[in-house]
Amino acid sequence: MSNANAPKISSVTDLYAVAYGIEAAAVERYELLAAQMEAHNNPDLVVIFLDLARAEGIHRDEIARLAEEADVDVLAHAPRVGKWPKGESAEEVDAGAAHYLMTPWHALELALGGEERALDFFSSVAASAKDPKVKKLAEDFMEEEAEHVNLVHRLMRRYPAPAEAWGHDLDGPVAQD
Amino acid sequence: MESLDTKPARKPAEYRSDVTQIWCPGCGDYHVLMSFTRAFAALGLPPEEIVVVSGIGCSSRIPAYTNCYGFHGVHGRSLALAAGLKVTRPELTVVVASGDGDGYSIGGNHFLHACRRNIDMTYVVMDNRVYGMTKGQPSPTTEPDFDTALSPGGTGLRPFHPLVIALASGANFVARAFSGAPNETADILVEAIRHPGFSFVEILSPCVTFRPDEKEWKNLVHPAPVAPTSDPAKAARRIMTDDGFNIGILYRGDREPYQPAIGPARIDVSELEKDFEL
Amino acid sequence: MDQRHSIGVAIVGSGGAGALTAGNLLLEAASAAGWQGLLTRTVGPQIRGGEAAALLRLAIHPVACMPDAYDLLIGIDWLNAHRFGAEITVGPQSLVISDPRGGDLPPPMASAGARVVEVPIKDTAKGIPDGRPNMVALGIAGRLLGLDPDDLAALIAARLKDKSEAAIAASCAGIEAGYAAAADIAFDRPKPPKPASTKRWLISGNEAAALGAIRGGVRFAAAYPITPATDILEWLAPNLAKMGGVLLQAEDELAAVNMIIGASFGGTPALTATSGPGLSLMIEALGLATAAEIPIVVIDVMRGGPSTGIPTKSEQADLNLAVYGLHGDAPHLVLAPQSVGDCLFTTQWATYLAETLQTPAIVLSDQFIGQARAAIERPADLAFIGQRLEARDIAGAYQRYAVAAGGISPMALPGTRGGQYTADGLTHTPRGTPTSSAADHHVQLDKRRDKLEGFAYGDHWATIEGSGELAVITWGSLVGPVREAIARAAQDGIDVRLVAPRLLSLVQPARFAAALAGAKRALVVEQSHGAQFHRYLRAHYDLPGAVKVLSRPGPLPIGPDKIHRAIVEWRQ
């Protein structure tokens, strides 16, 4: 999950498109995780993931609105630019780290990883951008992501770190076929 | 690698059904499903023109999770079923999904002959080096020292080289992918589906329940160091000397796919009687 | 039809003597002259050069079984022919042509009291450049049967047209020599028929089954060769191609049956042919086709069992496997042809039923009728062509396994928009998704049983002939000898009725009861050591109070004489 293969940002249009793509992918990922938790009887995590999906959705829609004000059609550009050929996009949550007994703390840890990667990505765009408009926009996104990182940290303080035996299930797996 | 710059007319969500997925959270197969839907969307195929054929096992649950036609058949026989389907309906896109047990153990014989026949289809094996659905027995790709209930202390048997077997048997396209990189896997699947003949893609897909050690895989996978070759011997040697984690397209062949001529009858059925007339 | 109106001919020889070729040509020549007939063969275990006997029965009327005894036995040589002692019976009325340099007559034939005439067949052939002993034997048979020698010569020329002029000339010379050698031999034979005015065919049961399948709509076959079913595949391969279809040779029977399920899922009526060992391998997939409601036809040309058994001989002991072999409750169709010609009808009908009812159909043929060649009237064209109920123009949520009247739900073929579903062996909801709920399971079990139980199969379900307090109940290739036994019993003044189901599954209790109304005694005749058919009847049908069972395992056919005697012994 590195930004080593991130798409090339050459313009504000590109940046809006990529940022939109990152948030949209995160929304999808959290919704899928919420569905998994629902199917596996972990209601607390359904709530957490849906909340995360909602938050990312707001952010995604905000980007779309800002882009529209700047005359950029993110929906048209996002698929073109926002392709990360290897691995995942910056904020995509590592669904491989999910577990049917995961606790809210774990969910937030997943989210934290995603936000930190997004922050990393925008930081590097800001640092390397030649175009001042791109640089400014990247810095705005950086601030936004930094706020998210802080938010996740605060949320994590609300939940206890998981006990040693958090993943222990007295029942063994059930063969279905 | 072919770029997907052109905006696909379809979205991955179109290829997902609403059926609840029973895979354990953390299972690599969730990502494989994502790769499937992204690949189908990139190819722009109508979902009703795709058939996903599977056998039995966790991986084989995938057809019902798509919005395509599907066949969840019996253990180990998906390649045969797909062959009968594709040969009579060549215009359909046929993707066969299997696991290391379904595909390499009970399905081993059909694997050899499917590669040999080289019918145009794509065979995806989600390899987690264990029998997941039946609770953790070793599979033909399990390491010899992996301790299990049925083989305490490990089987002591050398694991298969499925990609080399595929090459030796005549597969026309061989690739290895990693479920944890769904975009890259989707790209490989697009290539595999587009490539004529029998395309074999092994997707390393960790089993969170019976192989928690496979969480390490995301740190072990790396791109194959060279571009794919069209020389099967070269490809085989490369694979036999790799660490099992080279990701990418490893072989692209140019064998003519097998597709017998089918179509409307050339004669009236009554003419067949001539064989018997006195 | 009885012995007096038919003539049995056996030609025996070994080590490349060509007895089987001679038998084939004799059947063809006799058929062209208007005879109807049946040809079977019996062989030793070798792949080449073994002892072999061609067995024919010719008559003016249709022939459905071999004779109890042969009127004419020609021995090109008698090497290892003792093997055929039990199968080739001769008696005082028989004529045996024996080559003095061909070894001794085997004991059962030597002591039968038959008239033995020596003819130096091998030496006669040696006297002709490239001469073949089987052509001499053919000439002898032709002369004794009263066949026109010119017609016979023309037939040879037509059959050997790919060989050299010299070979054709040598063959014709051999036949001429045979005619000459038999010129002074007296032989009592039935009056030869007039040449046929109706269309006649020369066909084997396996070929007839293959043609029936194509007529029924089959356009895809996948198979693994196995004796004695391979002939079906050999005929199908080029002929399916002519019809725009294809036959794939599979790597094993497991692949074959799954390939045809795949093809059928895609909309193409599909078939495979095998024998007992192959059917055993296919059972799991038959369950899949049953559960997922996918039509397929599986022909089992039964052979001696169990296990590898006697591959070249016939038996009726796969009934249990076909009817009961599937795990779970999996009702499906099982049919059995009753003669060489009936292989065409039954396979065509099976294809039609499988497609209509969306279920697998097993056709239980056997080695006897599968590999026998018969000269028969051309079978009538039939209206039974597979017509699957397809789902098209789908609006709204499609339910592949929706319950409707009659139990048959429309099947969406891949490519049909809106019809996407995943066919599954797992128990499923009407939509097709996996379920373990009691309600769903019961609903689908009922659906699959009801569609088969409620279908109007018509009169083809069984052959029911005659009336009488004694009913002979049989099936498959035994219908022929039973019919002949019943005809003989009629001459003895005994009224016997014949009840022979063609549809073995699903069972038809009401119609069976009607067929047996008034019968007080039942004689069950079958070729199975464990009396599988009798037990099947007992399990599903009411039988009259008094039942006798004549069940013999293979490898020998059960002759009409044995059955006739059983009937006579039980006359009241």
Is residue B7 in a domain? Answer: no
Of B26, B57, B208, the CB nearest to A177: B57
- Whether residues C220 and B88 touch (CB distance < 8 A) is answered with yes
Q: Which residues of chain C fall below pLDDT 70? A: 1-4
Answer yes or no: is B5 within a domain. no
Residues C170 and C110 in one domain: yes
Is residue C423 within 8 A of residue C294, CB to CB? The reply is yes
Chain B residues whose CB is inside 8 A of the A80 CB are: 5, 7
Of A98, A173, A175, which is closest to B26 when you measure between CB atoms? A98
* C194 lies in some domain: no
**Chain C contacts in chain B segment 104-133 (CB below 8 A):** 109-110, 112-113
Burial class of residue A172 in the structure, from the number of CB atoms within 10 Å of its CB (0-12 exposed, 13-18 middle, 19+ buried): exposed
Residue A79: pLDDT band with limits 50, 70, 90 = low
| Shared domain check, C176 and C74 | yes
- The ipTM estimated for the assembled molecules is 0.93
Same domain? C160 vs C246: no
Residue C102 belongs to domain with CATH number: 3.40.920.10
Pair (C69, C98) in one structural domain: yes
Chain C residues close to B86, C-beta within 8 Å? 262
- The whole-angstrom distance between A159's CA and the closest CA on chain B is 21
Determine, yes or no, domain membership for B9.
no
DSSP 3-state of C260:
helix
A108's enclosing H/E stretch is helix A104-128
A113 touches chain B (CB under 8 A): no
Contact indicator for B182, A82 with CB cutoff of 8 Å: no
Q: What is the DSSP letter of C251?
A: S
Are C23 and C144 in the same domain? yes
Pick from C207, C292, C420: CB nearest B67: C420
CA C1 to chain centre: 21
Q: Is residue B86 part of a domain?
A: yes
The first and second tokens of residue C465, run together, are 């002939």
Give all chains having 3 or more CB-to-CB distances under 8 Å with chain A: B
The CATH number of the domain where C325 resides is what?
3.40.50.970
**Which positions 65-104 of A are in contact with B (Cβ < 8 Å)?**
76, 79-80, 83-88, 94-100, 102
Chain B residue with minimum CA distance to A93: B180
Q: Which two tokens stand for residue C147?
A: 């066949």
* DSSP states of C503-535: EEES--HHHHHHHTTT--EEEEEES-TT-HHHH
- Residue B2 is predicted with a pLDDT of 41
Q: How far apart are the first and last CA of chain C?
A: 24
Pair (C445, C472) in one structural domain: no
Quick one: closest CA in A to B22, which residue? Answer: A39
Domain of residue B134, CATH code: 3.40.50.970
Query: Nearest CA to CA, how far is A140 from chain B (Å)?
Result: 28
The three-point CA angle B55-C417-B3 to 5° equals 75
**Sign of the CA dihedral with C134 first, then C136, C141, and C142 last:** positive
The nearest CA of chain B is from the CA of C249 a distance in Å of 11
* Dihedral angle of Cα C270, C275, C277, C282, to the nearest 10 degrees: 20
Amino acid at C233: L
Look at domain A10-86+97-158 and name its CATH class: mainly alpha
CB C551 within 8 A of CB C524: yes
To which H or E segment does residue C116 belong?
A: strand C115-118
- Encode pLDDT of A100-119 as tens digits: 999 999 999 999 999 998 99
Grouping H, G, I as helix, E, B as strand and the rest as coil, residue C141 is helix
**Nearest-angstrom CA–CA distance, C321 and C103:** 44
Give domain status of residue C196, yes or no: no
Contacting residues for B125 by C-beta, under 8 A, at least 6 apart: B59, B97, B98, B99, B100, B103, B104, B162, B200, B201, B202, B203
The dihedral through the CA atoms of B86, B88, B89, B90 has a sign that is positive
What is the b/e burial string over A43-56, where b = at least 16 CB atoms within 10 angstroms of the residue's CB? Answer: eebbebbbbbbebb
Out of B52, B81, B273, the one facing C259 most closely (by C-beta) is B81
Do C370 and C399 sit in the same domain of this protein?
no
pLDDT tens digits along A29-75: 999 999 999 999 999 999 999 999 999 999 999 999 999 999 988 88
CB contact under 8 A, B73 and C258: yes
3-state secondary structure of B33: helix
Domain boundaries, chain A: 10-86+97-158
Instruction: Give just the sign of the alpha carbon dihedral C99, C102, C104, C109.
Output: negative
Task: Tell me the shortest Cα–Cα distance from C521 to chain B, in angstroms.
Answer: 42
Chain C partners within 8 Å of B266 (Cβ): 242-244
Nearest to C244 among B110, B263, B271 (CB): B263
Going by the DSSP 8-state scheme, the letter that residue C435 receives in this structure is: -
In a domain, B12, yes or no: no
| Distance (Å, whole) CA A29 – CA A57 | 11
Contacts of A31 in chain B (CB under 8 A): none
Which pair of structure tokens corresponds to residue C493?
Answer: 């003044």
- Distance CA(C370)–CA(C379), nearest Å, equals 17
Q: How many contacts, defined by CB atoms under 8 Å, are there between B and C?
A: 183
Q: Residue B152, Cα to own-chain centre: how many angstroms?
A: 30
State the residue range of the domain holding B132. 17-275
Is C161 within the bounds of a domain?
A: yes
Instruction: Give contacts of C210 with chain B, Cβ < 8 Å.
Output: none
Per-residue model confidence (pLDDT) at position C457 = 97
Q: Tokens 């066909």 belong to which residue?
A: C203
> Are the beta carbons of B269 and C243 separated by less than 8 Å?
yes
Residue B4 at interface with chain A, using a CB cutoff of 8 Å: yes
Q: From the CA of B30, how many Å to the nearest CA of chain C? A: 18
Domain span at residue C487?
Answer: 461-569
User: Looking at beta carbons, which residues of chain B come within 8 Å of A167?
Assistant: none
Rounded to whole angstroms, the Cα distance separating C27 from C159 reads 13
Cβ C262–B275 below 8 Å, yes or no?
no
Across C470-497, b (16+ Cβ under 10 Å) vs e yields bbbbbbbbbbbbbbbbbebbeeeebebb
One domain, residues C308 and C372: yes
Structural domains counted in chain B: 1
- Distance between CA atoms of residues C524 and C518, nearest Å: 17
pLDDT in tens, A106-162: 999 999 999 998 999 999 999 999 999 999 999 999 999 999 999 899 999 999 899
Kindly determine whether residue B110 and residue C255, on different chains, have CB atoms separated by under 8 Å. Answer: yes
Last residue of a domain, one of C182, C210, C239: C182
pLDDT at res. A1 = 39
- For residue B98, give Cα distances in angstroms to B104, B131, C238: 9, 12, 34
Residues of chain B with pLDDT under 70: 1-8
Using an 8 Å CB-CB cutoff, list chain C residues near B269. Answer: 214-215, 243
Write the secondary structure of A150-174 as one string of H (helix), E (strand) and C (coil): HHHHHHHHHCCCCCCCCCCCCCCCC
Rounded Cα distance between B79 and C410, Å, is 26
Answer whether B209 sits within 8 Å of A172, measured CB to CB.
no
**B17 contact partners, CB below 8 Å, separation of at least 6:** B64, B65, B66, B67
pLDDT for A91 beyond 70: no
CA distance A132 to chain B (A): 27
Overall domain count for chain C? 4
Whether residues C309 and C260 share a domain: the answer is yes
